[in-house]
C-alpha cells in the first residue's frame, strides 16, 4: 500500500498505469538522438540477441535499420536459414545481408579457411560502403521502409565483426577506421568475440561484456532451434 498526502492508503499504481499499450502502424520516421557506437562482446550467449533486439526496436519506430552478418553462413549442427532471417524479412524497415561462409572458421569442418577470410574481407568492404552511403544521406529525415540500405540507414548492425577481427580474418585497424569514418548521426552496433576489443574501447560510447556464468553447451547440449538459431 502507498500513503497519500491525507494519510490514507491506496493501492500502488502498476507500471504502465494498468494499461496495455496498443501497437501502432509503422510509418517512416527519423530518430532524434542516434549516433553512438555500441560494442557487445564476451563469452556469454546473447550478443546477437541484444543487437537484433535493438534493431527490431528501432525499426518498430519507423527508423531504417540494416543488419550485416559476418561468419554466420551455417554449420552442420544448425540450419542455414535461422529464425531471425524470417523475422527480419517480415519486419518493415529492417533488412539484412549475410556474408558468412558455410561452416565455422578453425573448426575443421571441411570448409576452406581461405573462403572464410575472403568473405569476411568482403563483409568489411560492404560495411564501409554502407557507412559511406549513410554519410552521403540526410539522417535527420525518414527513409522509405522498403528502400535500399545503399540510400542510407539510421542504424547499422555489424554482427560478429568483432569475432572476425579476433580470429584475424579482418584487420582490427580497418574496423577502427570504419568506426572513425561513420557520420555523426549513424547508430553503429558491433558485436561478437570472446576477447575484449581493446582497439575499440576508447572509441565506443557503450561497451557491454556478455559474460557466461553457465551454458548448456558445456554439458553437451547442441544448438536449439528457436533459441540459438
Please report, in tens digits, the pLDDT of each residue of the chain (229 residues total). 455 556 656 666 666 677 788 888 999 999 999 999 999 999 999 999 999 999 999 999 999 999 999 876 555 555 566 788 899 999 999 999 988 654 444 444 444 556 778 888 999 999 999 999 999 999 999 999 999 999 999 999 999 999 999 999 999 999 999 999 999 999 999 999 999 999 999 999 999 999 878 877 777 777 777 777 6
Domains and CATH numbers, the chain: 27-219 (3.40.50.300)
Q: What DSSP state is assigned to residue 179?
A: H
- Could you tell me the pTM of the whole model? 0.85
Of the candidates 159, 186, 162, which has an alpha carbon nearest to the alpha carbon of residue 176?
Answer: 162
55/72 Cα distance (integer angstroms): 18
Of the candidates 93, 34, 102, 32, which has an alpha carbon nearest to the alpha carbon of residue 60?
Answer: 93
102/114 Cα distance (integer angstroms): 12
Amino acid at each position: 500500500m502507498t500513503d497519500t498526502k491525507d494519510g490514507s492508503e491506496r493501492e500502488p499504481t502498476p507500471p504502465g498505469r494498468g494499461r496495455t499499450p496498443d501497437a501502432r502502424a509503422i510509418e517512416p520516421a527519423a530518430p532524434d538522438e542516434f549516433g553512438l557506437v555500441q560494442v557487445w562482446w564476451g563469452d556469454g550467449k546473447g550478443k546477437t540477441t541484444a543487437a537484433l533486439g535493438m534493431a527490431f526496436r528501432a525499426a518498430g519506430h519507423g527508423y531504417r535499420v540494416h543488419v550485416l552478418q559476418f561468419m554466420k553462413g551455417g554449420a552442420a549442427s544448425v540450419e542455414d536459414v535461422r529464425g531471425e532471417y524470417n523475422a527480419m524479412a517480415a519486419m518493415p524497415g529492417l533488412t539484412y545481408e549475410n556474408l558468412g561462409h558455410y561452416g565455422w572458421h578453425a573448426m575443421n569442418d571441411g570448409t576452406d579457411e581461405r573462403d572464410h577470410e575472403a568473405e569476411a574481407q568482403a563483409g568489411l568492404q560492404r560495411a564501409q560502403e554502407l557507412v559511406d552511403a549513410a554519410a552521403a544521406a540526410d539522417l535527420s529525415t525518414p527513409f522509405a521502409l522498403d528502400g535500399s540500405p545503399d540510400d542510407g540507414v539510421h542504424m547499422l548492425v555489424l554482427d560478429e565483426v568483432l569475432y572476425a577481427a579476433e580470429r584475424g580474418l579482418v584487420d582490427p585497424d580497418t574496423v577502427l577506421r570504419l568506426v572513425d569514418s561513420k557520420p555523426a548521426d549513424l547508430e553503429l552496433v558491433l558485436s561478437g568475440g570472446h576477447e575484449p576489443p581493446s582497439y575499440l574501447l576508447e572509441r565506443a560510447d557503450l561497451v557491454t561484456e556478455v559474460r557466461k556464468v553457465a551454458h548448456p553447451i558445456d554439458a553437451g547440449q547442441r544448438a536449439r532451434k528457436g533459441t540459438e538459431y
